[in-house]
Amino acid sequence: MIDNYQTIRQEVEADLRDVFKKTTYERQSNTFEVTLQEILNRLQQNYHLSDAQTAFLYEQEVSAEISAVQPIQNVLTCYLS
């Protein structure tokens, strides 16, 4: 899983979105968006990950996302002034 994490994670997310599209009636919701936690829960189930491993993946994803964020300077200035 380590070598293919990005591919596996994208496949799990796509699978969850497909499930959400097919279960709008059962879920009584038209939303197709899935959360990071739902993705990680599915990874945990499919790959028998421990809570510690799942928490590690969560921290890594959040950390990577935060480091990739680029602020929009005019919006930042508006909120800080």
Give the pLDDT confidence of 1-57 residue by residue, as tens digits: 778 999 999 999 999 999 888 887 887 888 878 999 999 999 999 999 999 999 999
Angle at 50 between CA 59 and CA 65, to 5 degrees: 15
Hey, how many other C-beta atoms are within 10 angstroms of the C-beta on 49?
Answer: 17
DSSP state of 33: -
**So what's the pLDDT on residue 49?**
96
Angle at 46 between CA 45 and CA 52, to 5 degrees: 50
Q: Whole-model pTM?
A: 0.76
What is the number of structural domains in the chain?
A: 1
- Could you tell me which residue, 62 or 24, shows the higher pLDDT? 62
Give per-residue burial for 13-45: e unless 16+ CB within 10 Å, then b.
beebeeebeeeeeeeeeeeeebeeeebbbbbbe
Is 90 exceeded by the pLDDT of residue 58?
yes
Domain of 43, in residue numbers:
5-80
